[in-house]
A and B are shown apart, each in its own frame.
Chain A
Amino acid sequence: MGRAGRLSTFLLFCPALLWLGLLIVAPLVDMGALSVSERVSSDEFRFGFANYATFFEEPVYWQTFARTAGFAIIVTAATLVVAFPTALYIAKQAKGMGRVALFTLSLLPFWVSELVRTLGWMILLRESGLISGLLQWLGLAQGRVELLYNDGAMLVGLVYGGLLFMLIPLINALDSLDEHLVEAGLDLGGSRWTVMRRIIIPHAMPGIVAGSIVVFMLTIGNFATAVLLGGKNSLWFTQAIYDQFITRFDWPQGAAFGFMLLGLSSVLVWLGLKLTGQSLTRSLQQP
């Protein structure tokens, strides 16, 4: 490659490099530095891991993290269960315009911001909301029913938020499934369930892994949905980070929690891949 070629390659990479450098790497380095500075007095700091120690010493923090992680796993599993039949239908049954329409329908809610979508759920679920009103009108409830501010509401909101990110890799993976494999599976004596378990799901595995990682990471780092639908009593780890930064103004502690979230969720993803015998490279190479 000539000098001009190298220069133009460099220039083409520039926006991406600047983006990564200024918006991701630089703040991360800064945060990293912040997270390992211990407060000695009100305006004096020194190097140390006290902020990380706090995470393990105060049960409330690691318990919050454990709850968040557990919840994120449940949300991921629920999203997969909801998205799989939909993806299978869009990829294999729907044809032509129907397919485009269905895909657009699943995409449409994501043209609205997360906050607005969450507020939509609040309108449905709150005490004076649609569902409460409907239950009363049907005579199934005597008074107003509060459906917000509990784990169920949070689950619904988070699954809804993750749906698209599960659907797209699943549709991609299932799209490449040869219909003849399904027919051969049936022809050789397999029931629909056998074909699903031994042919369709293994074929969709790269999509399942990719979708699950994205949904898990999005859920565990979610803020608005978890905080708004879960209410005051539900502990969510991003809320703890927010509190450190905004309420208590303890930036070093917040930064340490941020890194704990990044590190532990990556470890969980790695564990998940190991336990299910999947490989990240294979999942990312899916056609």
Chain B
Amino acid sequence: MSKDLDVQGIVKSFGGPAAVDGVSFHVPEGSFFSILGPSGCGKTTLMRMIAGFIEPDQGRITVAGQSILGLPPNRRPVNMVFQNLALFPMMNVAENIAYGLKCRGEDKGAIGPKVDRILGRVGLAGFGDRRVDQLSGGQKQRVAIARCLVLEPALVLLDEPLGALDLKLREHMKIELKQLQGEFGTTFAYITHDQSEALVMSDQVAVMARGRFEQVGSPRDLYYRPATPFVAGFVGQSVRWHGKVEQRDAGWVLLRTAEGLPVVAAWDGTGTDAQLFVRPEAIQLARTEAELGTLENKFEGTLSSLLFDGAASSVLIAENTTNTEVRVALPQSGPMLQLVAGDTVWFGWAGEAGACFAVDA
């Protein structure tokens, strides 16, 4: 039996609206599963129910086919990396890692070599005698993960462990975590509010809002085929319009935005009002209309400001007839680099590039 995590119909309320409202998902052994959501969406509650610190009101949680509900946290085959890591300051690195093995009553002679081996695998060989407060942020991170992995759990839960790190280190640890997970082959369930962490590391991501899963899918699915307006708005950057359907024709609609901009989008939904999300990098920039070719949406505008942010630079363009402001990604190579505020530019995107959702009028 593989050590899959299976969660079915979990409900938990703390009096008032349910914090977790009927969530189901399945994590196959050895995969990296993320739960992505804004703070207060119930993701921490969900994780604490899997760890055993909170009992759900309804639902089933099984690991390797065995229900773990009712078991205290110390008897679940699940270990958790806490947000603040929760390394024991009264113990050194080796003692921190040996803690779980000792609790399990492993043979004293076997513990030392196990601790040394895992320290080596996370790149901390020889750090056993260090005090916890002598470690850097990234090293603490690795100790916290090693402390769980040494127990060979069926599942490691990670509660935003990168939150406290600075940006550079966070970027680095994302890659490192993904590699560690791959090397050990342990199932990781990771919760975060940072979409980039979830997208970079995960095999599967669940987007959570108001106690429910909005969508579960691969990072690519979430980004290119968001199932709900929430996912479209939460994952990645988007230009967002609210519009009325003016014409409808075989999977295509013509929307008139609130500002009066006519846009074409691929949509087979019904309803008279729609929300349209377009990724900034899906919008092309050009000096002339001809360069945009056969794109369904083409507009002329005036560049109002340049937002330089290295590879993530963008420009704000005011469309000429309606004055609609649009944010467009600015590639850091090619002819568009010479753009300055006040230039006239053309911008356009394919009808399929937008994600359209019905809105209750």
> Chain A: residues with CB nearer than 8 A to chain B?
178, 180-181, 183-191, 194, 198-199, 202-203
Contact = CB atoms under 8 A, between A and B. Distances in A.
A189 B86 contact: no
A-B residue pairs, 4 tightest by C-beta: A188-B100, A184-B86, A189-B103, A202-B90
Nearest to B148: A188
B225 interface: no
Query: Max chain A CB contacts within 10 Å: which of B83, B90, B147?
Result: B90
B82 A180 contact: yes
Contact of B99 (A180, A183, A188, A191): A188
A187 B90 contact: no
Interface string B144-159: 0001100100000000
Contacts of A187: 51-52, 73-74, 78-80
B72 interface: yes
A190 B74 contact: yes
Contact of B72 (A185, A186, A194): A186
A185 B82 CA distance: 11
The A contact surface, by secondary structure, is helix
B51 A190 contact: no
Contact of A189 (B53, B89, B90, B100): B100
Contacts of A194: 103
Nearest to B53: A183
A243 B340 CA distance: 98
A203 B90 CA distance: 7
Interface string B75-99: 1001110111010111100000001
Interface string B121-153: 000000000000000000000000001100100
B99 A198 contact: yes
A191 B74 contact: yes
Contact of A183 (B82, B100, B103, B104): B82
Contact of B88 (A185, A189, A191): A185
Interface of B: 51-53, 72-75, 78-80, 82-84, 86, 88-91, 99-100, 103-104, 147-148, 151
B77 to A, nearest CB: 10
A188 B82 contact: no
Given A180-B82, A183-B53, A188 B90 contact: no
A110 B89 CA distance: 35
B103 A188 contact: yes
Contacts of B99: 185, 188, 190, 198
Query: Max chain B CB contacts within 10 Å: which of A184, A191, A202?
Result: A184
B84 A180 contact: yes
A186 B51 CA distance: 10
A118 to B, nearest CB: 39
Given A191-B103, A194-B103, A186 B90 contact: no
Contacts of A178: 84, 86
B51 to A, nearest CB: 6
Given A180-B82, A184-B82, A199 B103 contact: no
Contact of A186 (B73, B84, B91, B104): B73
A267 B52 CA distance: 49
Given A180-B82, A189-B74, 9 more contacts: A183-B53, A183-B80, A184-B82, A187-B73, A187-B78, A188-B103, A190-B99, A198-B90, A199-B88
Contact of B86 (A181, A190, A198, A202): A181
B234 to A, nearest CB: 27
B270 to A, nearest CB: 49
A70 B82 CA distance: 45
Contacts of B75: 189
Nearest to A180: B86
Given A194-B103, A203-B90, A188 B84 contact: no
Given A180-B82, A189-B74, A199 B90 contact: yes
A183 B73 CA distance: 8
A202 B100 CA distance: 17
Contacts of B82: 180, 183-184
A181 B80 CA distance: 12
A101 B322 CA distance: 65
B82 to A, nearest CB: 5
11 contacts: A180-B82, A183-B73, A185-B88, A187-B51, A187-B78, A187-B79, A187-B80, A189-B103, A189-B151, A190-B74, A199-B88
Contacts of A199: 88, 90
A223 B167 CA distance: 62
Nearest to B103: A189
A188 B72 contact: no
Nearest to A188: B100
Contacts of A189: 74-75, 100, 103-104, 151
